[in-house]
Amino acid sequence: MFDDSSTKRIRSDGKSEMSGVGPYPHAVNCVTDRVGTGGFYFLRTVSLDCMMPPVERLIDIDFSSPVGEAAANCTVDDAYDQPGTLNICGSNMLPDVRLIANKLFANSALSNGTPVSLPISLTRSFTGPGAFHLEFEQAVGVTAGANANIRNLIAGSLAVAELYRNAPNSQGGRQSLGRFYMPFSATVTRVP
């Protein structure tokens, strides 16, 4: 569950428990959510094996806090010809986002944090690479409460992530679109 306060730059789609949708659970709403070996955590707003009509889940990523000068051109399309554009000067409600926290449930995460990245596609896509990649420059902090199956990811107000546009090697490969302050926090519950 994401902290959706106005100071956060990565937020949920605003669907609450009251709406009957709530957080991003695995078996409901066709979201992929799993913990793998070594404490690896993976969330994706869509699932390939979804059989029922999905309730579309989005993640709001806000690029309105650049490190340094803002981009001259705020809209960027992807190099793989997915429809739509990414606003790198403001907020985006994105339909295909992956949150990868490499060591969220590893014991070392409580003292060292975990690397975090977010591959992003402008449309639901299960073929080819994602259009963009947001990568945190430093490990993101991790806390835990009394329940060992609950972890909190906490990127403070000075957390910086670099945004890349992915492209085929014939088009120059990965291209940096800038660095952004990207504070966010999320609570993750591992289902035993």
pLDDT tens for 150-186 read 999 999 999 999 999 988 776 667 899 999 999 999 9
Whether the per-residue pLDDT at 12 is higher than 50: the answer is yes
Answer for the pair 151, 186: CB distance below 8 angstroms, yes or no.
Answer: no
- Name 179's Cβ contacts closer than 8 Å, sequence gap at least 6: 66, 67, 68, 137, 160, 161, 162, 163
Beta strands in 109-149 (DSSP E): 116-121, 132-136, 141-144
3-state secondary structure of 81: coil
Answer for the pair 184, 7: CB distance below 8 angstroms, yes or no.
Answer: no
Which H/E stretch holds residue 112?
Answer: helix 109-112
What is the rounded average pLDDT for all residues in the chain? 86
Give the predicted TM-score (pTM) of the model.
0.88
Angle, CA of 132, 44 and 122, to the nearest 5°: 35
- Name 45's Cβ contacts closer than 8 Å, sequence gap at least 6: 24, 31, 57, 58, 59, 94, 95, 96, 97, 98
What is the number of other CB atoms lying within 10 angstroms of the CB of residue 182?
27
d(CA 3, CA 5): 6
Whether the per-residue pLDDT at 50 is higher than 90: the answer is no
Q: pLDDT digits over 90-149, tens only?
A: 999 998 999 999 999 999 999 999 999 999 999 887 766 678 999 999 999 999 988 889
The structure tokens listed for 158 are 């000075």
The structure tokens listed for 15 are 């669907």
What DSSP character marks residue 58? Answer: -
Tell me the pLDDT band of 53, cut-offs 50, 70 and 90: low
Q: pLDDT digits over 67-91, tens only?
A: 998 888 999 988 777 788 999 999 9
Terminal CA-CA length for the chain: 18
Q: pLDDT digits over 19-28, tens only?
A: 444 566 554 5
